């Protein structure tokens, strides 16, 4: 089956430092799945941060970037300089591609940015 | 603007009681989903639906039923609530081709 792995449950970074949150995926049902990063800010529901549907392409939003790497089946989230307002839970996800499956989410990574 | 709403936002229930969580979407998406979120587990899929009248089991359907009476509405039903069902529940709608999902604000359920 399909699955998504996020190895870090919690990450703490000082403001203005760089960030990387790791995400790898596994799929047996489709060669090139759509990949997503969602973010959940405190007290809110999940919202889409960025999406990439083509292998080798990079997505970006709000200063975050993620590159779809088919060779390593990875989709790591990076930011050069984090802000306190980036503190949230980040979820990597593999999209559904037809009516015979459902999206798959990683366990989430809680980011805390220290001032 | 497209939206997914959930009600109630907070619920306290007693063990053995019946709980219904409601979800409404104005996105006109065929697919809708119910997840629960627990620390250390991320989002786990309970039930989903391809359209009005359909429900499918997700990864953790035991103890839950779902109902999709219309395109807009998708309910999650706990016939006999247990403390292990204490969690935050999220509803989402999605386009099956694009895969992007739109989430509601969540319902915090506490079963005593």
Answer for the pair A98, A34: CB distance below 8 angstroms, yes or no: no
Which residue of B40, B90, B96 is in closest CB contact with A96? B96
**The two structure tokens encoding residue A1:** 């089956």
- CA A2/CA A23 separation, integer angstroms: 14
Check CB contact under 8 Å for B48 and A102. Answer: yes
Query: With bands split at pLDDT 50, 70 and 90, how would you rate the model's confidence at A103?
Result: confident
Q: Which of A15-29, A51-65, B36-50, B70-84 has the lowest mean pLDDT?
A: B36-50
Flag whether residue B94 sits within 8 Å of chain A, measured between CB atoms.
yes
Answer for the pair B107, B9: CB distance below 8 angstroms, yes or no: yes
Which residue of B90, B96, B100 is in closest CB contact with A98? B96
Average pLDDT of every residue of chain A: 92
* Nearest alpha carbon to residue B97 among A80, A103, A40, A22: A103
Q: Which residues contact A68 (CB under 8 A, 6 or more apart)?
A: A35, A52, A54, A55, A56, A57, A58, A59, A75
Which residues in chain B touch residue A45, judged by CB atoms under 8 angstroms apart?
4, 90, 103-106
The 10s digit of each residue's pLDDT in A31-69 is 788 999 999 998 888 999 999 999 999 999 999 999 999
Query: With bands split at pLDDT 50, 70 and 90, how would you rate the model's confidence at B1?
Result: low
In B, minimum Cα distance to A98 occurs at B96
Query: With bands split at pLDDT 50, 70 and 90, how would you rate the model's confidence at A27?
Result: confident
Flag whether residue B97 sits within 8 Å of chain A, measured between CB atoms.
yes
Q: Which residue has the higher pLDDT, B22 or B42?
A: B22
Interface probe with A: pick from B100, B106, B108, most Cβ of A within 10 Å: B100
The 10s digit of each residue's pLDDT in B2-19 is 599 999 999 999 999 999
- Phi/psi at B65 (nearest 5 deg)? -125, 160
């Amino acid at each position: 089956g399909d699955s998504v792995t996020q190895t870090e449950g919690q990450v703490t970074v000082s403001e203005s430092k760089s960030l990387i949150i790791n995400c790898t995926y596994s799929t047996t049902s489709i060669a090139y799945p759509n990949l997503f990063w969602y973010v959940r800010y405190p007290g809110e529901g999940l919202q889409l941060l960025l999406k990439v549907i083509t292998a080798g392409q990079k997505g970006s939003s709000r200063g975050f970037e993620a590159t779809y790497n088919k060779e390593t089946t990875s989709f790591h989230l990076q930011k050069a300089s984090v802000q306190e307002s980036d503190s949230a839970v980040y979820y990597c996800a593999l999209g559904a591609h037809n009516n015979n499956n459902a999206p798959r989410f990683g366990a989430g990574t809680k980011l805390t940015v220290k001032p | 603007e497209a939206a997914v709403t959930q009600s109630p936002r907070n619920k306290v229930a007693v063990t053995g009681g019946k709980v219904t969580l409601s979800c409404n979407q104005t996105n006109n998406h065929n697919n809708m989903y119910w997840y629960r979120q627990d620390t250390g587990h991320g989002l786990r899929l309970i039930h989903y639906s391809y359209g009005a009248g359909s429900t499918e089991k997700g990864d953790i359907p035991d103890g839950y039923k779902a109902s999709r009476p219309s395109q807009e509405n998708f309910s999650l039903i706990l016939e006999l609530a247990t403390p292990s069902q204490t969690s935050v529940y999220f509803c989402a709608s999605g386009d099956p081709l694009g895969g992007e999902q739109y989430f509601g604000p969540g319902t915090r359920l506490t079963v005593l």
